[in-house]
Structure 1
């Protein structure tokens, strides 16, 4: 039986994922996984292998086999382990958590609206976070290129922008490392917010400084790897 779900599918799936994590799906199956660092590893149930290449990440609620390439979330895993499509899996799982797929209450609609707004804010935050990282990378490239144009040390010493940047260089490097850790999800969301606010203050100061110096367009300097 394939369940026909209304446009509120996003709400239903989010509810399922919040109440049934991927380790619950694993524990209810015949999978035998061992913890390795943050992940769990074991033999893939979807193809024959002798070396464990099937990985489950409980923090992100995702799985991936590095042998056959199959991957997904807890709903995908449930569906494949039980030989059904995702629609059938959603139908079975929503019944387990006591949800109906045909009609939502007023309160559930309010929750959907709030989640959609939260998702928009999260996407905007990610874009602004990436912008700060790119800006500071370009600022570093800009100052390097500027320093190379000076033929004598005396010219460097008289360049206010260069002196200002090199006085802050260690802190700039710290900010770039911290922002990169956030982009790689190596720090939690609260830490990302903290570093975002700090970096935003630094970037605003430099934007004002460059505006006073009537320097524009360095944001377009090509990024390089460091």
Structure 2
């Protein structure tokens, strides 16, 4: 919705929640922007980037790509199975690699620049007990973002990562929590979790076209 309000037509990929994607699409269309949805298995295998291509049809060419899929599945390092390790890495690192690569190729071919934005995590930088696969994937995505930024800058394509801390969402078990109600949050200076709209505002700012002075 933040990107729609900024004037973008939207493509949404979804996994496991078609109704949620439809609700969001309805909101986007009500704001006056076009929106399409496409199912996308977040465990990419070689074909995983195809969903973003279908969902990108409203704009005909991708102006902005936001990578935002991220399961965590906390477990002690010694208990993490190879299958679960690969599942987390596939969704949190392989998927953004494939989607970003395909989007960058289309942006480069169009010759009009673009924006690639990945939602990483504070755990891109800070370790967390029980999150070995998640931290490894987010750390890898953070460095991948920096390499892409270097390589694509000459094409007018900016690449950035947004690394939130604890956000009041279903992923943290706080879907119905008012994030602006002060609580005792040891280690969190503001004393509350973040609000998803705060993250969205940063994404919208990074997606905005460059200003000429």
Q: Which TM-score bucket, shorter chain as reference?
A: under 0.3
What TM-score, normalized by structure 1, do the two folds share? 0.24
| Bigger CA radius of gyration | 1
Greater percentage in strand: 2
**TM-score (norm: length of structure 2):** 0.25
